[in-house]
């Protein structure tokens, strides 16, 4: 009997947790009011649910409810942070800094400002995937309005030293924004301890619904709204609120706050089991980026002597990401791998494994066996 396919692509998205779905359902058909409808109980109850979710999101990252603005997801939140800072920056501050491995929404957001006369400095990372703090210090000037560096990379899973980055930014009077979409719910994130001014997160990376996220905006941070209209979210993000999505995001954060430590330890154990198995049974395996500073559920490896496309075809019953990420529109490796390895040293076959809440020991053992068999066959055919 054939084995059902295995999902090991939890960095791309996660399934909605059944408890999250159950919490959301009443807000589709029963408590369906518009939170802005303040004259009747349907609106009151919807608004109460939104505020409870706001408190839950804030609690997960160490902020306060008033510092949370709901958005459609991390891409909007990143654009909101970058363009909102740009629109409200004081005279003389028309410079931004980001890392070479940021999500495209940050890189393209900064690039779009260059058409408006801004300059953007992209700071390199080392082979371990960590930001070069000396290069960051050199890049940030008295003209810098914002430093944007992700908390954890979506491809190689490497964690960045947020407090140290914030210190460099603040020393020159710049704000610090972090895209924490991959980190929130997986590792402790504390906006107070890390001195974060702006933080992006999204629901679908933490077993919540797609299409709902948030931007943490530290009190007294100057930020112009990206979307204007009816003045919802205290005038910071207009548009009728997605109440079911917001409730789901809040409940997902509640679960993560309670279960994160135990679940992250479990996933780190499975991840290490996977790496040990690949090294033992496959061989010729290299890890991309630091293992010490890494998300507990991430493993990104290269396989020597193997063609990436052939490898993906051979393991088609295991959902993973081809980390050498020749995207559908490009024949070049991803910008993340180019930043780590340089154009001449990117492995020909790299795989991103993303483990998750439903990953079992049996899944890991099967993945090891399958990769060993496929890689062995491909190497013998060379």
What is d(CA 272, CA 33) in angstroms, rounded to the nearest whole number? 47
Q: What is the dihedral of CA 233, 238, 244, 249, to 10 degrees?
A: -60
Dist CA 159 CA 152 (whole Å): 4
Residue of 8, 7, 11, 3 whose CA lies nearest to 202? 11
In the beta sheet, which residues pair with residue 319?
7
Q: Does the annotation mark 253 as catalytic? A: no
302 strand-pairing partners: 286, 350
Residues 6+ positions from 73 with CB-CB distance below 8 Å: 202, 203, 204, 210, 211, 212, 213
Q: Choose the catalytic residue: 110, 212, 253, 326.
A: 326
Per-residue 3-state assignment (H helix, E strand, C coil) for the chain:
CCCCCEECECCCCCCCCHHHHHHHCHHHHCCCCCCCCCCCHHHHHHHHHHHHHHHHHHHHHCCCHHHEEEECCHHHHHHHHHHHHHHHCCCCCCEEEEECCCCHHHHHHHHHHHCCCCEEEEECECCCCCECHHHHHHHCCCCEEEEECCCECCCCCEECCHHHHHHHHHHCCCEEEEECCCCCCCCCCCCCCCCCCEEEEEHHHCCCCCCCEEEEECCCCCCCCCCCCCCCHHHCCCCCCCHHHHHHHHHHHHHHHHHHHHHHHHHHHHHHHHHHHHHHHCCCEEECCCCCCECCCEEEEEECCCCHHHHHHHCCCEECEECCCCCCCCCCCCHHHHHHHCCCCCCCCEEEEECCCCCCHHHHHHHHHHHHHHHHHHHHHC
Distance CA 22, CA 208 (A): 11
Report, as residue numbers or ranges, the catalytic residues. 326
């Amino acid at each position: 009997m054939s084995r059902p396919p295995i999902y090991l692509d939890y960095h791309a998205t996660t399934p909605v947790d059944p408890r999250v779905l159950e919490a959301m359902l009443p807000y589709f058909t029963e408590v369906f009011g518009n939170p802005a409808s303040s004259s009747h109980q349907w609106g009151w109850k919807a608004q109460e649910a939104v505020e409870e979710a706001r408190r839950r999101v804030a609690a997960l990252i160490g902020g306060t409810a008033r510092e949370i603005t709901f958005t459609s997801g991390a891409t909007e939140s990143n654009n909101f942070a970058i363009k909102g800072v740009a629109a409200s920056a004081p005279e003389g501050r028309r410079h931004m800094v980001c890392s070479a491995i940021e999500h495209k929404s940050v890189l393209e957001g900064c690039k779009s400002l260059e058409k408006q006369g801004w300059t953007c400095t992209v700071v390199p990372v080392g082979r371990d995937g960590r930001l070069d703090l000396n290069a960051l210090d050199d890049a940030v000037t008295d003209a810098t309005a914002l430093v944007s560096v992700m908390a954890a990379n979506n491809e190689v899973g490497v964690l960045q030293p947020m407090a140290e980055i914030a210190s460099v930014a603040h020393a020159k009077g710049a704000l610090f924004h972090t895209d924490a979409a991959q980190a929130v719910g997986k590792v402790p994130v504390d906006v107070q301890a890390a001195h974060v001014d702006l933080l992006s997160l999204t629901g679908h990376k933490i077993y919540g619904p797609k299409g709902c996220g948030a931007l943490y905006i530290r009190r007294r941070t100057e930020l112009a709204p990206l979307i204007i209209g009816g003045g919802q979210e205290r005038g910071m993000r207009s548009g009728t609120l997605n109440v079911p999505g917001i409730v789901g995001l809040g409940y997902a954060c509640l679960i993560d706050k309670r279960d994160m430590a135990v679940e992250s330890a479990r996933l780190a154990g499975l991840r290490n089991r996977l790496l040990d198995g690949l090294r033992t049974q496959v061989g010729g395996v290299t890890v991309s980026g630091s293992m010490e500073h890494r998300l507990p559920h991430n493993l990104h490896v290269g396989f020597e002597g193997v063609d990436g496309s052939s490898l993906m075809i051979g393991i088609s019953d295991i959902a993973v990401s081809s980390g050498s990420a020749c995207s559908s529109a490009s024949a070049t490796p991803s910008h993340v791998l180019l930043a780590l390895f340089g154009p001449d040293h990117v492995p020909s076959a790299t795989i991103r494994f993303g483990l998750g809440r439903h990953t079992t020991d049996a899944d890991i053992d099967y993945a090891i066996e399958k990769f060993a068999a496929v890689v062995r066959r491909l190497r013998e055919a060379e």
